A = this chain, B = another copy of it.
């Protein structure tokens, strides 16, 4: 059989490194599409001029374009037979990506744990995206539950990696040259700097976007993510196409501009859960909670740690009385962004 059956749980071993296929050159075309698919308005990614006023050579590609591109390449090797995408940790953006750059992706297996039912197991990988110069631009850990092909295959030795609860502020990478001393808040869209946000502050981002099938499929293909659940209406019994979790991340992050316009660049992903599935026809809203604030090595460049929640309902309830995610919650993401101090 020439087609890719994907890897099953017993095909992984700790220490294994998988180079993912199909390098990708990104251009202004991918950026334009990103701005058509999501209400993205971050000034640094929207304007070459604004980016230059912040010390960068031009506007980089949106941070999440890089995330989706690197992630998408890993799907055929990591999550084609995944039952669930369980979590993210230790994600760091290491270098901006510009139009014309070419991204590759590879993953190292850093943990394995067979489930007690013997039918599946959890695979932990550290995925790294690199540019055409071989420089890493992004790394993150994710773990997925993967089915076994052969239920009689022996369970591997359990090995669960120790993962940081959050990236430490000292480990955040400020892009070379970035400075916010001539930052124009009026052009950026809002006056609020790091000092204007309080720990625990919750921001409802007001707007909602009702999601269409054509949109999430355009997005998911753009990242060369081939998981059939996103495209094939005959795959699930209910005839629904599951929306790629990354689509919800980008939608929520873009909606969060309204209230967080100056949280310009995502520099770390501390954790994340796709709490409930998202389907076409849902109206997605977002709210954020300020989890932490920090300085960086660059004076004037602060870091804000945010919980970003996407919801198919209204309000800011995250979990029910039972401690489980409320049924409307689609995404619970924990990230660090750079913001003028």
Contact = CB atoms under 8 A, between A and B. Distances in A.
Interface of A: 2-4, 19, 21-25, 27-33, 35-39, 41, 43, 46-50, 59, 76, 99-100, 102, 104, 132, 186-190, 192, 196-197, 203-210, 212-215, 217-219, 221-222, 224, 226, 228, 231-235, 241, 258-261, 281, 283
Contacts of A261: 21
7 contacts: A2-B197, A22-B41, A27-B28, A36-B219, A207-B232, A212-B214, A212-B217
A218 B79 CA distance: 29
Contact of A209 (B76, B206, B232): B232
A205 B232 CA distance: 13
A121 B219 CA distance: 41
Contact of A23 (B32, B47, B232): B47
Given A25-B49, A35-B222, A4 B190 contact: yes
A62 to B, nearest CB: 12
A47 B22 contact: yes
A207 B234 contact: no
B210 A19 contact: no
A281 B213 CA distance: 11
A225 to B, nearest CB: 9
Contacts of A226: 39, 41, 207, 258
A49 B132 contact: yes
A131 to B, nearest CB: 10
A300 to B, nearest CB: 20
Given A2-B192, A224-B35, A283-B234, A21 B207 contact: no
B190 A233 contact: no
A220 to B, nearest CB: 9
Contacts of A221: 35-39
A18 to B, nearest CB: 9
Contacts of A4: 189-190, 206, 258
Given A2-B203, A28-B28, A208-B232, 11 more contacts: A3-B258, A19-B186, A21-B187, A22-B46, A24-B46, A25-B49, A36-B221, A39-B221, A48-B132, A212-B213, A214-B218
